[in-house]
Amino acid sequence: EDYRIYLKEFKCLSCRNERTDLWEYFDKNWNSCRKMWVMTYRVYLPHFGNHTNNRAESLFGKLKRYLKGHLTMRDNLKVLIDYHRRKEEEYRSKVEVPGTLCDVSYSEKLNVVLGMTTRW
């Protein structure tokens, strides 16, 4: 596997002259969670052709509109819960519109897809 080859090479390079700080940092903070960022492990995850963190950054930007530094932790948590409820209601209103196609024998995900189609 390519990752192991490059990892071994990186370890050799980062541990020269008895300096191991870089390797220890990498091994502790990055290598231990490689399944989250190494493409080899991510290839079968749903990514919709986008391997960046743009979606997460977009969400954080939207949350920052509501979360304020002067609010207490409790108030910020209330803001997060309210935001989640609004998003949940938006989703339901799109999916559970009266007159949309629905089959009780299908899973929720399949009914969502069915709701995006027409009768024809």
Per-residue burial over 9-29, b = 16 or more CB atoms within 10 Å of its CB, e = otherwise: eeeeebeeeeeeeebeeeeee
120: in domain: no
Asked whether the beta carbons of 20 and 14 are under 8 A apart, the reply is yes
Q: Does some domain include residue 74?
A: yes
* Token representation of residue 4: 């192991």
Mean pLDDT of all residues in 45-63: 78
The answer to whether residues 40 and 2 touch, using CB atoms and an 8 Å cutoff, is yes
Residue 37 sits in the same domain as residue 76: no
Q: For residue 55, tell me if it sits in a domain.
A: no
In a domain, 56, yes or no: no
User: Domain span at residue 104?
Assistant: 68-115
**Residue 62 placed within a domain:** no
Q: Is residue 92 part of a domain?
A: yes
Domain-embedded: residue 49 = no
Longest Cα pair distance anywhere in the chain, in angstroms?
Answer: 71
| E strand or H helix at 18 | none
Same structural domain for residues 38 and 72? no
Percent of the chain at pLDDT exceeding 90: 30
Same domain, 73 and 107: yes
Q: How many domains does the chain have?
A: 2
The verdict on residue 51 lying in a domain is: no
pTM of the model: 0.43
**Per-residue pLDDT tens digits for 65-83:** 989 889 999 999 999 999 9
Mean pLDDT, residues 78-105: 79
Residue 87 carries which side chain, given as an amino acid letter? K
